[in-house]
Amino acid sequence: MVWIVRNLWLIPALPAAAAAVIALFRQAQRRLAAGLAIGTMGLSFLMALIAFAHMLAQPATEYVNFGWLQFGSEWLKFGWVLDPLAAVMLVMVTLVGLLIFIFSIGYMEHDENFTRFFCFLALFAGAMLGLVIANNLVLLFMCWEVVGLTSYLLIGFWYQRPAAAAAAKKAFIVTRVGDLGLFLGMLWLYSLSGTLVFYDNGGGCLEHAAIAAMAAHAAALGLTASSGIGLLIFCGAAGKSGQVPLHVWLPDAMEGPTPVSALIHAATMVAAGVFLVARMYPLMAATTNGGTSQALEVVAWVGAITALFAAFIAVAQDDIKRILAYSTVSQLGYMMLGLGVGGVAIGMFHLITHAFFKSLLFLGAGSVIHGCNGEQDIHKMGGLRKLMPITFATYAAGMLALCGVPLFAGFWSKDEILHAAHGWNVSAVPYYLGAAGALLTAFYMTRQVAYVFFGKQRETSEAVAHDAATAQGAGAHGAGETHESPAVMTVPLIILGLFATFLGFVGTPAWPWFQAFLEGQHATLDFGAFAGNGILPLMTISSLIVFAGLGLAWWLYGRRPIESAEARDALEQMMPGAFHVLAKRVYVDELYGVTVVRLAEWSARVMDWMDRWVWNGAVQAVAKIVAGVAWIDSSLDTAVINSGFDGCCEGVEHGGRLVTRTQSGRVQSYLRVLGIALIVLVLFLYWSRKG
Amino acid sequence: MTAPFVILAVVTIGGAVAAMTLRKLVHCALALAVCFVGLAGLYLDLNAQFVGLVQVLVYVGAVVILIVFAILLTRHDELPAQTNRTRVAGLGVSAVVFALLAWAVTAGGAQMGAAVAAPEAAMKDIGGALMQKYVLPLEVVGLLLTAALIGAVVIAMEEKKKAR
Amino acid sequence: MTPLNGCLLVSALLFSIGLGGALTRRSAILVLVGIELMLNAANLNFIAFWRYGPHPEALTGVLFVTFSIAIAAAEAAVGLALIQAVYRHAKTTDVNQLDTMKG
């Protein structure tokens, strides 16, 4: 066994250990905390590179299992696995994480809870890396839960703000709903296959024997067991990755600091759901007769619907981070669509590219917010292109990548997905949904860039003072002017920008290195691949769609500079009704509030009533019965036993008093008794003699 | 049942009854003396001359006098009769006792007591028996009399005032 | 009715009279009188049995009665001294009032 595979566990263990140590620091030891977190993350990054290099040289599935808990004669085995999928995720998570950690030094500099922030970040990194390399669904689930915990802690980082606390609770509870499905799937899988270890010398639940058995096993509703389990597991992934209808927590999660939004809610944690589906893909795709399994059909449809739905809502949002949040939901839908129609490689390619350009966009937004002293409403920004040039350049790169402009990273990955959707044997509707989503993506991103970076500078000094008071704490420099962010924040932006621009080239059809790597094969450079398989026409159509979206938005927003913050949105002027519905997020949160939340409140009230009257009443009744029995006992004791005893004593006393009367003190009565005794004695003697 | 016997019996019984029923104590004491005399007569009739004369000497001469002295020394108003209940009970008991004794006497069968010749109770024999066979009881009785004498004197003596 | 029986009946009657008086009269002195009568009745019994019983030459009855008379005298003396002492203390000879030994 190679050294790196044997010691793969160090990759998550180092940041987790750093978190444990940082938890003991005082608030003042900032540099030590940041240094420890970044140091361990750097080490993990290096080790991830070594693992990646190993996988490049020898693509295989290598794993280490060890017995962790013994119950009866069986062992619960934990362990880690290194395969191309895990290697790619390791590199992405450690690299993006490292860059965001460095960014956070600048962004959180004025926050007094700096140390606590890095503790949580390190804990998150450890848990996420553990999730990636876990070889056991239970271990994965444990890391999954810790990731959810740190998400809660970081969303509610500024816990004194009620909005942040509420958002943290919402995130936790909504993902919990999904986790229920995941847990049920785990139980079902364990009951059918007898193990939750992924790869275990042929006996693992993702290996051929178990998969074949479960694919043949028919469950309810016309599903096979493998699809049923897959769908339940997809519930958990849908919660974590914000698919409709469990997407409601992601936009609210923007209450957390921007580095948190970048790392957790763009690049890594939300990708954990996609990663889970990719990991469990052998199970989810298993069919007995070829074709698409029911589980993957559902995944594809949910992904397509999510992609379009979230894109619609993003069109009408005003908060710079909200737009990006809905964009993330939409892109996650694309990833799920890719997994469903095209397989692991296609979905994961978009995941990797998305991680880079979305975290870039979030960090850029953070830089903008920092530079605008806490302002987040795009109507109140503008003209930042000249004031924050580096931020603008990198942001533009990320935006073009996200839109899918040709030759940028997002273009290649999104196009793979659309190509696979177009050729899907079940239905072509997801393709059209995805294409519409691409149009809207280009539209809303151009709208955002036009509002933020172009036009006139609309910041007013009152707005500055007002927002400085209610700032996210992300840099209230006082009533200062808008300025470019320091180097510690712009350098990570530049690095991510380079990735956003050039990363796509590892997955082009001419040289599908990424896809081949994940499948464990070698890719060859072949420009002729463009010609075949209907790739070029589809690419052309996609490009046209993107430019159409860009042009439309430019025509509405960019042609004339937007004058004031109070000016109505151009689209809103055209379609006020539809715009309003979209701005209110299609009232999904309100719907949940009326149905689910009300149901929960009602059942809580019912339970309270039951507790107060039924259970409490029963307990009180028992207590009253006991008291009653005690009372009966007591009165019995008083009336019967006591009085019986007293009566006895009285009888004795009475008898004694009676007997006392013979002792009259009078001689003659004594004499009388003597006389009677004499008579009796004589009679007795006579009769005894007679007898 | 010779005539002397009957007369003497009647006297004795009458005296006894009188002694027990008369109101005034002195009358009772005198009736008692009559009873004792009657008894002495009965003894004489039964040929126990010594006992009869001793009876007169001691009982009539000493005991009755003692009783009279006691009556004289204890002043008392005429005491009312005993309560009915006590009287009835007492008389009942004595009646039952008499019935019992009478029945024992008459139902016992006449095994003895037929009229026989009177035995001789010579003084010489009595004196001889006293000094020989019954000398110990004699001495003890003497002692007893001495003790009784001293005791009676002590008991009846006025208590000395308590020493200061 | 043999002579003996007659004597015995007389003595029985005497005894009962004495007993009745002792139980009935209220004065302590009369109680003592009753007791004397009872003693005398017993003496009469003895003499009667000596006269009509076997072995009269042993003089048992006579001597017994002699002693009995002596003792009775002593007892009468002591008893009357007691009554005297009690009278001095309680100012009465009423036996019903002399009940300090009451239980």
List pLDDT tens digits, range A196-207: 888 887 777 887
8 A C-beta contact, residue A8 and residue A65: no
Number of H-type helices and E-type strands within chain C: 3, 0
Sequence spans of domains, chain B: 1-101, 122-164
pLDDT recorded at residue A562: 66
- The mean pLDDT of A151-173, rounded to a whole number, is 91
CA dihedral for C13, C14, C17, C22, sign (positive or negative) = negative
Residue type, C77: A
Q: What pLDDT does residue A122 have?
A: 93
**Which of residues A506 and A316 earns the better pLDDT score?**
A316
Cβ proximity of A494 and A105 under 8 Å: no
Helix, strand, coil % in chain B, rounded to nearest 5:
75, 0, 25
* Alpha-carbon distance A664 to nearest alpha carbon in chain C (angstroms): 5
Q: Mark which residues 23-52 of C lie under 8 Å from A by CB.
A: 23-24, 28, 31
Task: Please tell me which of A60-64, A443-447, A559-563 the model is most confident about, judged by mean pLDDT.
Answer: A443-447
Report the residue from B12, B46, B69 with minimal CB separation from C51: B46
- Reply yes or no on whether the pLDDT at A469 is more than 50: no
Residue whose token pair is 């072509």: A428
The per-residue pLDDT for B43 is 94
Angle, vertex CA B85, rays to CA B79 and CA B88, nearest 5: 95
Q: Which of C6, C37, C83 sits opposite B5 (nearest CB)?
A: C6
Neighbors of chain C by Cβ distance (3+ pairs < 8 Å): A, B
A483 Cβ neighbours under 8 A, 6+ residues apart? A371, A387, A388
Instruction: Look up residue A528 and give its DSSP letter.
Output: G
Residue in chain A closest to C23 (alpha carbons) equals A668
Spell out which residues of chain C touch residue B115, defining contact as CB-CB under 8 Å.
Answer: 2-3, 52
Q: Is the Cβ of C97 closer than 8 Å to some Cβ of chain B? A: no
Asked if residue A423 lies in contact with residue A532, where contact means CB atoms within 8 angstroms, the answer is no
Instruction: State which H helix or E strand residue C75 sits in.
Output: helix C60-90
pLDDT of A136 strictly over 50: yes
Contacts of B158 in chain C (CB under 8 A): 88
| Percentage, residues of chain A above pLDDT 70 | 93
Q: Angle at the Cα of C72 (from C69 to C78), degrees rounded to 5? A: 145
**Residue A266 has what pLDDT?**
78
Q: Which of A322-336, A467-481, C79-93 has the lowest mean pLDDT?
A: A467-481
- CATH code, C3-90: 1.10.287.3510
- Average per-residue pLDDT in chain A? 84
Q: Do C85 and B156 touch (CB under 8 A)?
A: yes
> At residue A475, does pLDDT exceed 50?
no
* CATH 3.30.70.20 applies to domain B1-101: no
Are A270 and A328 a contacting pair, CB within 8 Å? yes
Chain B residues touching residue C81 (CB < 8 angstroms):
151-153, 155-156
Least confident range of A516-520, A595-599, B94-98: A516-520
- Residue range A8-25, pLDDT digits in tens: 888 999 999 999 999 888
Numbered residues of chain A with Cβ closer than 8 Å to any chain C Cβ: 660, 662-668, 671-672, 675
Query: Does the structure show a pLDDT above 90 at B6?
Result: yes
Q: Which of A17-26, A132-141, A160-169, A210-219 is predicted with the least confidence, judged by mean pLDDT?
A: A210-219
Nearest C-alpha neighbor of A349 from the set A594, A92, A111: A92
How many Å apart are CA C18 and CA B94, to the nearest integer? 9
Over pLDDT 90: what percentage of chain A? 25
Is residue B62 over pLDDT 80?
yes
When pLDDT is cut at 50, 70 and 90, the band that residue C20 belongs to is very high
Task: Pick the most confident of A76-90, A652-666, B49-63.
Answer: B49-63
Helix locations, A372-512, DSSP H: 384-387, 389-403, 409-422, 429-453, 461-469, 487-502
The secondary structure of chain C in percent helix, strand, coil, rounded to multiples of 5, reads 80, 0, 20
**Cα–Cα distance between A377 and A569 in angstroms, integer?**
13
**Is there a contact between A675 and B104 if contact means CB atoms under 8 Å apart?**
no
A203 contacts A266 by C-beta, under 8 angstroms: no
CA–CA dist B107, A29 (Å, integer): 135
Q: Which of A207-211, A386-390, A493-497, A594-598 shows the lowest mean pLDDT across its residues?
A: A207-211
Q: Are A150 and A127 spatial neighbours (Cβ–Cβ below 8 Å)?
A: yes
Coil, helix or strand at residue A141: helix
Pick from B29, B98, B134: CB nearest C63: B134
What SS3 state is found at A67?
strand
Distance of CA C102 to the CA centre of its chain: 26
- Give per-residue pLDDT as tens, B140-163: 999 999 999 999 999 888 777 665
SS3 A561: coil
- Shortest distance, CA A685 to any CA of chain C (angstroms): 18
Structure tokens at A423: 């050729």
- Set of chain C residues whose Cβ sits within 8 Å of the Cβ of A666: 95-96, 98-99, 102
Neighbouring subunits of B (3+ Cβ pairs under 8 A): A, C
Indicate whether A463 pLDDT > 70: no
Angle at A350 between CA A346 and CA A355, to 5 degrees: 150
How far is it, in rounded angstroms, from Cα A246 to Cα A175? 7
Give the nearest partner residue to C29 out of B70, B110, B149, using CB atoms. Answer: B70
Which residues of chain B does A678 touch, with a Cβ-Cβ cutoff of 8 Å? Answer: 97
Enumerate residues 6+ apart whose C-beta is below 8 A from A263: A96, A97, A100, A121, A124, A269, A359
ipTM: 0.92
The single residue listed with the structure tokens 């006269």 is C51
At A362-377, the pLDDT tens digits run 988 888 888 787 788 8
Position B16 confidence tier, pLDDT thresholds 50, 70, 90: very high
Partner-chain residue, chosen from C8, C21, C62, that has the shortest CB–CB distance to B105? C8
Q: Tell me how far the alpha carbon of residue A114 is from its chain's centroid.
A: 23
In this complex, which of C19, C22, C99 lies closest to A666 when CB atoms are compared? C99
Q: What are phi and psi of B90, to 5 degrees?
A: -65, -45
- For residue range B70-108, what is the model confidence (pLDDT) as tens digits? 998 887 666 667 677 888 889 999 999 999 999 888 886
Residue in the block written with tokens 């039952």? B96
> With left for phi above 0 and alpha for psi between -120 and 50, is residue C55 left, alpha or beta?
left
Out of C13, C44, C76, name the one closest to residue B39 (CB). Answer: C44
**How far is it, in rounded angstroms, from Cα A310 to Cα A300?**
15
Q: What is the pLDDT of residues A24-69, one digit of tens each?
A: 888 777 888 889 999 999 999 999 999 988 888 888 888 888 888 8
The answer to whether C9 and B102 are in contact (CB under 8 A) is: yes
Q: For residues A620 and A615, give the distance between their C-alpha atoms in angstroms, rounded to a whole number.
A: 8
Among candidates B82, B93, B104 on the partner chain, residue whose Cβ is nearest the Cβ of A676: B93
- Please name the residue of chain B whose CA is at the shortest distance from the CA of residue A666: B86
Best to test chain B binding among C1, C27, C30 (most B CBs inside 10 Å):
C30
| Alpha-helix runs per DSSP H in A79-224 | 84-107, 114-133, 137-155, 162-193, 208-216
pLDDT of residue A663: 82
In 10 A of CB C55, how many CB atoms?
Answer: 10
Q: Do A682 and B94 touch (CB under 8 A)?
A: no
Q: Is the pLDDT of residue A234 over 80?
A: yes
What average pLDDT does this structure show over A184-193? Answer: 89
Inter-axis angle of helices A294-315 and A225-240, nearest 10? 20
Chain centre distance of CA B45? 17
Instruction: Please report which confidence band the pLDDT of residue A155 belongs to, taking 50, 70 and 90 as the band edges.
Output: very high
* Nearest in space to A399 (alpha carbons), one of A344, A456, A454, A335: A454
Q: How much is the average pLDDT of A608-637?
A: 91
For chain A, the first-to-last Cα distance in angstroms comes to 123
Residues 88-117 of B with CB under 8 A from C: 89-91, 93-95, 97-98, 101-102, 105-106, 110, 112-116
CB proximity under 8 Å: B 34-53 to C: 35-36, 39, 42-43, 46-48, 50-51
Contact A675 C23 (CB under 8 A): yes
pLDDT confidence of residue A474: 44
Q: Which helix (H) or strand (E) holds B103?
A: helix B84-107
Residue contact B100–A676, C-beta within 8 A: no
In this structure, the number of other CB atoms found within 10 A of the CB of residue A81 comes to 25
Residue B97 distance to chain A (closest CA, Å)? 6
Please determine, for residue A466, whether its predicted confidence score (pLDDT) is greater than 50. Answer: no
Which band of pLDDT confidence, cut at 50, 70 and 90, is reported for residue B14?
A: very high
Chain C neighbors of A672, CB-CB under 8 A:
23
Identity of the highest mean pLDDT range in A6-10, A512-516, B122-126, C11-15 = C11-15
Q: A675, C96: Cβ pair inside 8 Å?
A: no
Residue C38 CA neighbour count, 13 Å, CB half: 18
Tokens of B48: 């126990």
Chain B residues near residue C18 by CB distance under 8 angstroms: 16, 20
The H or E element that residue A81 is part of is: strand A74-82
Count Cα neighbours of A435 within 13 Å in the Cβ-side half-sphere: 18
Whether C22 contacts chain A with CB within 8 A? yes
Average pLDDT for residues A567-573, to the nearest whole number? 72
Which residues sit opposite A377 in a β-bridge? A319
A255-to-A320, A686, B28 alpha-carbon distances in Å: 12, 124, 134
pTM for this model (two decimals): 0.65
Sequence-distant (≥ 6) Cβ neighbours of residue A424 within 8 angstroms: A292, A300, A341, A430, A431
Chain C, 16-55: which have a CB under 8 Å from a chain B CB? 16-21, 23-27, 29-30, 32-34, 36-37, 40, 43-44, 47-48, 50-54
CA distance A325 to B20: 138
Q: Find the closest chain C residue to A663 by CA distance.
A: C103
Least CB–CB distance from A665: residue in C19, C23, C102: C102
Instruction: Looking at the complex, report in whole angstroms how far the Cα of residue C103 sits from the nearest Cα belonging to chain B.
Output: 19
Neighbouring residues of A529: CB distance < 8 A, sequence distance ≥ 6: A509, A510, A512, A535
Residues of chain C neighbouring B118 (CB-CB closer than 8 A)? 51
Q: How much is the average pLDDT of A633-655?
A: 88
pLDDT band at C34 (very low <50, low <70, confident <90, very high): very high
Closest C-alpha among A375, A393, A370, A409 to residue A453: A393
CB A200 within 8 A of CB A165: no
- Beta strand A74-82 pairing with A62-71: antiparallel
Residues of chain C contacting A673 with CB distance shorter than 8 Å: none
What is the model's pLDDT at position B163?
56
Q: ω into residue A245 within 30 of 0, thus cis? A: yes
Taking contacts as CB-CB distances below 8 angstroms, the residues of chain C near A677 are none
Q: How much is the pLDDT for A537?
A: 81
The CA–CA distances, whole Å, from A354 to A123, A350, A414, B62 equal: 23, 6, 10, 154
Q: How far apart are CA A166 and CA A317, in angstroms?
A: 20
- Answer yes or no: are the C-beta atoms of A251 and A322 closer than 8 Å: yes
Angstroms from C57 CA to nearest CA on chain A: 30
- Phi first, then psi, for residue A6 (nearest 5°) are -65, -35
